[in-house]
């Protein structure tokens, strides 16, 4: 990033308009959120990247994220919705990995149902955080760095470090909670699931509210957005669903419903969202099953299947299926991740099996 494209300045406001009367219709006012969530005043001055964010409006803007090698400026697109009533501030991010597209559509559909005059608090929506990777359809930045291993970043570091620093300073520092939307990678698909610190009461409450079929209690990785925000005391949910490079309608629908449930749980919107069809389950541990040999994989299970320890998940053979080697479940649990690429080398991840309990508590199956 050069001096002319400093992240201290926004590229400019693209849109700022109300989408409804200033007063809600009778019977539709938003109720105050739970007392544990901060209630920022709707009239409090709020600026982002040098742009004023007025209450009761949606504001679209680009934060300067750098330039392409051609000199073309690249902006990090944002939409900020400030509500009529005081309430929490939350960010929703997608595209931290540039080839993971479901988050973009989840954010689009979520924002389509939000009305500033009925909103309590503020939503910061960043559908494509890694714009460089999105342009090149790559998980990584041009220098092959993983943005989700580069937080909190630095204003004078690598391109990844500068974007991470920009996102932390302009968005995370202003928020009380966050939802980071991801998909599987490297030809792997994930069942809709939440990954979070379920030992933290506030985070656990958000995970229960989201209502994904599975919530995985997982440790954080150094340099990840969730790890750094969590260290600041900001609860973060990581949603995983589908696979890279394509939309998965089931994962998108689960993501949209989950985000809206979280907003309702925080008292930011009314609660018109249906509860999950089944009680969310908790996984205190997961195990990736790896290929015991190289060859052609034939998978015999699907995402969401409940399996028993030792059950055959598929087999690896040669081109004709000869000399098969069974791939077996290492534990009782549910298949929450699976490879879509039938060509495997010894040691490749084939399936991810989660050991389940109830998110309300209970005994592992």
Predicted confidence (pLDDT) per residue in 100-133, tens digit: 999 999 999 999 999 999 999 999 999 999 999 9
- Residue 65: phi, psi to the nearest 5? -105, -5
Residue 356 confidence (pLDDT): 86
Look at residue 87 in the predicted model and tell me its pLDDT.
Answer: 96
Tokens 């809206």 found at: 260
Mean pLDDT of 354-360: 71
Distance CA 217, CA 36 (A): 22
Distance in angstroms (rounded) separating the CA atoms of residues 234 and 94:
18
Place of tokens 């957005």: 225
Interval 304-325: pLDDT, tens: 999 999 999 999 999 888 889 9
User: Would the pLDDT of 29 be above 50?
Assistant: no
pLDDT at 35 over 80: no
| Mean of pLDDT values over 25-30 | 31
Using CA atoms, how far apart are residues 229 and 171, in angstroms rounded to an integer? Answer: 11
Element housing 207 (H / E): helix 201-210
Q: Using 50, 70 and 90 to split pLDDT, how confident is the model at 204?
A: very high
DSSP lists the bridge partners of residue 120 as 85
Quickly count: other Cβ atoms within 10 Å of residue 243's Cβ: 24
Closest by alpha carbon to 194, among 306, 124, 286, 305?
286
For 177, half-sphere exposure in the C-beta direction (CA atoms, 13 angstrom radius) is: 29
Instruction: Report the share of the chain in percent with pLDDT over 90.
Output: 76
Q: What is the pLDDT of residues 145-160, one digit of tens each?
A: 999 999 999 999 999 9
Task: Please report where in the chains the tokens 């099953």 appear, as a residue.
Answer: 289
DSSP code per residue over 170-206? HTGGG-SEEEEEE---TTEEEEEEEEE-TTSHHHHHH
User: Mind listing the pLDDT tens digit for each residue in 58-69?
Assistant: 999 999 998 888
* Spatial contact of 79 and 125, defined as CB atoms under 8 Å apart: yes
The per-residue pLDDT for 30 is 34
pTM above 0.95, yes or no: no
* 279 within 8 A of 358, measured Cβ to Cβ: yes
Burial class (CB in 10 A: 0-12, 13-18, 19+), 21: exposed
The runs of H, that is alpha helices, within 113-178 are: 131-136, 159-170
Q: How confident is the model at residue 280 (pLDDT cuts 50, 70, 90)?
A: confident
pLDDT value for 3: 34
Residue 358 is predicted with a pLDDT of 55
In the predicted model, what is the mean pLDDT of the chain? Answer: 88
Band of the pLDDT at 86, cuts 50, 70, 90? very high
Q: Per-residue pLDDT averaged across 343-359, rounded?
A: 89
CA distances from 288 to 131, 154, 217, 265, 333 (A): 30, 34, 15, 33, 12
Confidence class for position 22, pLDDT limits 50, 70, 90: very low
Confidence of residue 278 (pLDDT cuts 50, 70, 90): confident
């Amino acid at each position: 990033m050069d001096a002319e494209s400093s992240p201290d300045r926004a590229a400019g406001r693209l849109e700022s308009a109300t989408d409804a009367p200033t007063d809600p219709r009778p019977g539709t006012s938003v109720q105050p959120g739970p007392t544990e969530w901060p209630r920022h005043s709707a009239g409090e001055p709020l600026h982002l990247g040098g742009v004023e964010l007025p209450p009761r409006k949606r504001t679209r803007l680009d934060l300067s994220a750098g330039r392409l090698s051609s000199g073309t400026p690249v902006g990090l697109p944002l939409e900020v919705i400030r509500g009529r009533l005081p309430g929490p501030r939350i960010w929703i991010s997608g595209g931290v990995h540039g080839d993971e597209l479901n988050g973009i559509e989840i954010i689009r559909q979520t924002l389509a149902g939000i009305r500033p005059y009925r909103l309590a608090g503020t939503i910061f929506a960043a559908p494509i955080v890694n714009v460089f990777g999105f342009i090149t359809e790559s998980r990584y930045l041009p220098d092959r760095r993983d943005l989700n291993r580069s937080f909190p970043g630095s204003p004078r570091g690598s391109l990844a470090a500068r974007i991470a620093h920009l996102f932390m300073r302009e968005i995370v520092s202003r928020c009380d909670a966050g939802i980071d939307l991801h998909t599987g990678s490297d030809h792997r698909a994930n069942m809709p699931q939440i990954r979070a610190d379920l030992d933290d009461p506030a985070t656990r409450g958000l995970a229960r509210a989201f209502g994904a079929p599975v919530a995985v209690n997982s440790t954080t990785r150094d340099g990840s957005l969730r790890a750094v925000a969590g260290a600041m005391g900001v609860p973060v949910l990581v949603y995983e669903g589908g696979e890279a490079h394509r939309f998965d309608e089931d994962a998108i629908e689960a993501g949209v419903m989950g985000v809206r449930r979280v907003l309702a749980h925080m008292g930011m919107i009314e609660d018109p969202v249906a509860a999950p069809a089944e009680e969310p389950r908790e996984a205190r541990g997961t195990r990736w099953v790896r290929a015991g040999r190289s060859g052609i994989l034939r998978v015999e299970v699907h995402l969401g299947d409940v399996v028993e320890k030792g059950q055959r998940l598929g087999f690896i053979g040669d081109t004709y299926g000869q000399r098969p080697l069974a791939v077996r479940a290492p534990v009782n649990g549910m298949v929450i991740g699976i490879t879509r690429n039938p060509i495997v080398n010894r040691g490749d991840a084939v399936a991810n099996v989660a050991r389940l309990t109830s998110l309300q508590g209970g005994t592992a199956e």
